[in-house]
Amino acid sequence: MKNRKIPCSNSLFANALLSFVKTACNVLFPIITFSYASRILGVEGIGRVNFTKSFTMYFTMIAMLGMNYYGTREAAKIRERKNDLCKFVYEMLVINAISTTCAYFLLFFAMVFVHELHSYIPLLLINSISILFAGMGLEWLYQALEEYRYIAIRSVVIQIVALLLMVIFVKDKEDVAVYAVICVIASYGSYLFNFIHSRKFINLGPRPQIIEIKKHIRPILLLFSMTLSIELYTVLDSTMLGLIKDDNAVGLYSSAIKINKIVNTLITSIGVVLLPRLSYYIGLKELKKLEEVSILVYQLIFMLSTPAALGLYVLSDEIILLFSGVAFQEAVVTMKILIPIVIVIPFSVITNLQLFVPMKKEKLIIKSTCAGAITNFIFNCLLIPLFSENGAAIATVLAETVVSIICLINLKKFFDLKKIFYEYYQFWCAVIPIYIIGYLFKVVISNYIIRIIGVMFVSTIVYFGLLWIMKNTCIINFTKMLNQKFLRNIEIRKTNNKL
């Protein structure tokens, strides 16, 4: 039987835009719901949910192994051969069924034998639904096929439903479990639709004649080691805060890091589309295109992360007040400590997950992320007993900085760093007025919501205006691209009118 082709005609720009829309929806929901829930559930209630979520994340990671990255990379290479793709997906589902069973066994073992977890068992059971959904969701398949339109539409629908459920059912402090259920629906509910919708691309009915599991184990475990080291230092802070301190500390830390992580997610969403496309270029040995696309994305994330970091620092008091309420004001200092991660995380994520994964340089990733995990653990042990949530914040910044430095050293082996950091000074020059604008708005405007909107609006115009005056390459190329698209649309309309 001949392999049928599964076409993929989306442009990288369109994919990046759709990925950004999808991420924006995933970001908007946590902003709205966290703002709503934090005022109802309080610091302790939010802390309980976030502690159990961070703890369950380890077992979700075990269930997924390294499939998100391995599946996307390998499926992208064979996406135009339907029979091969169906066989590959079937093999991944078999492996995932085994890993999911192991993950549930380990979670139940921990709940029974770790005394500190007994009071959290109901919330842990709710969050454990994510273990099953993450495995069957086949999110990696849609990324490999670059089906970002479907992903974006699906995300919008699920987030709207979850938001309605939040407003209807979360009414007082006793609704912690309800809030946890809705968070799981928002994060993983769409994966159920993925499994059903996947029949459009693959046939999961009859079992393939030959099942090759063994050849996948080594690369999957290698990527799992990478994922494990990443997760250790990204969720370790909340877990250790809950075990060493209390739910109040976790709640304050969650409020402080929430917006920073959201901004990071938005910025790195531009690079999410890289993994399947770079895997495709590597498969064709088009190394020049690989370098061109990679450098473009680095310049874009630097252009966005630099003003975002300073903007968050300037507006930290207003942001905590708006999204968390007066009860979380102690989190302002923690949020300011965490500001550097807005710059370093997008760089390390793009380097490790979107560039080194398709290049099959997992060992380089493991080195940097293990160094980050060790740094995070050591400084959490030293600083959390002394400074609570602020100690966890310092440990996180140090860990992410270590990861980025190692990424920079590794990146030098493959690319000319001068090309990547070319014109980087322009971003810092253009960002200076944001601090002045923020100070002026604080003096003149009393309403904190108007201050946030005003500073963001004016700073955006001034920042990109200055970059345009300095003839920044990113801005010039983006302007040319919009002009070309506009002129092309005019030509199409003229042609249609003549017909």
pTM of the predicted structure, to 2 decimals: 0.71
Query: What integer is the mean pLDDT of 16-25?
Result: 64
Q: Compute the distance between CA of residue 438 and CA of residue 445 in angstroms, rounded to an integer.
A: 10
The yes-or-no verdict on residue 454 having pLDDT over 70 is yes
pLDDT tens sequence across 259-315: 888 888 778 776 665 556 666 666 666 777 777 777 878 888 889 899 999 999 999
> Residue 384: which pLDDT band, with cuts at 50, 70 and 90?
very high
- Alpha helices in 315-349, H assignment, sequence order: 316-323, 331-337, 341-349
> Residue 401: which pLDDT band, with cuts at 50, 70 and 90?
very high
Q: Compute the distance between CA of residue 253 and CA of residue 42 in angstroms, rounded to an integer.
A: 13
- Closest to 314 measured CA to CA, from 334, 331, 339: 339
* CB distance 260 to 344 below 8 Å: no
Sign of CA dihedral 475, 460, 18, 294: positive
Q: Compute the distance between CA of residue 72 and CA of residue 92 in angstroms, rounded to an integer.
A: 11
Inter-CA distances, 499 with 295, 485, 496, Å:
42, 21, 5
Tokens of 463: 């920042």
Which amino acid belongs to residue 432? I
According to the model, what pLDDT value does residue 395 have? 93
Instruction: Pick 466 or 212 by higher pLDDT.
Output: 466
Q: Compute the distance between CA of residue 459 and CA of residue 388 in angstroms, rounded to an integer.
A: 34
Q: What is the CA radius of gyration of the chain?
A: 23
Q: How many CA atoms lie within 13 A of 473 on its CB side?
A: 14
- Closest to 180 measured CA to CA, from 313, 63, 47: 47
pLDDT tens sequence across 52-83: 988 898 898 888 887 877 888 788 778 777 78
Residue 351 is given by DSSP the state I
Residue 145 burial (CB count, 10 A): 24
Which amino acid belongs to residue 142? Y
Tokens of 11: 């442009």
Q: Which residues of 173-187 are buried (b: 16+ CB within 10 A; e: fewer)?
A: eebbebbbbbbbbbb
Residue 359 is given by DSSP the state T
Q: Compute the distance between CA of residue 148 and CA of residue 156 in angstroms, rounded to an integer.
A: 12
According to the model, what pLDDT value does residue 85 have? 84
Query: What integer is the mean pLDDT of 8-31?
Result: 61
Q: Please give the distance of CA 273 from its chain centroid, rounded to a whole number.
A: 12
Considering only 183-187, 354-358, 399-403, 480-484, which range has the smallest mean pLDDT?
480-484
For every residue of 18-62, DSSP letters joined together read HHHHHHHHHHHHHHHHHHHHHHHHHHHHHHHHHHHHHHHHHHHHH
- Closest to 71 measured CA to CA, from 57, 56, 91: 91
Q: Which residues contact 374 (CB under 8 A, 6 or more apart)?
A: none
According to the model, what pLDDT value does residue 18 have? 62
Q: Which residues contact 281 (CB under 8 A, 6 or more apart)?
A: 287, 289, 290, 293
* CB distance 60 to 195 below 8 Å: no
Q: Which residues contact 118 (CB under 8 A, 6 or more apart)?
A: 111
Expressed in percent and rounded to 5, the helix, strand and coil fractions of the chain are: 85, 0, 15
* CB distance 22 to 312 below 8 Å: no
Q: End-to-end distance of the chain based on CA atoms, in angstroms?
A: 42
Q: Compute the distance between CA of residue 411 and CA of residue 364 in angstroms, rounded to an integer.
A: 10
Query: What integer is the mean pLDDT of 175-196?
Result: 85
pLDDT tens sequence across 339-378: 999 999 989 888 887 778 777 787 888 888 889 889 999 9
Q: Compute the distance between CA of residue 211 and CA of residue 214 in angstroms, rounded to an integer.
A: 9
Tokens of 477: 């190329």
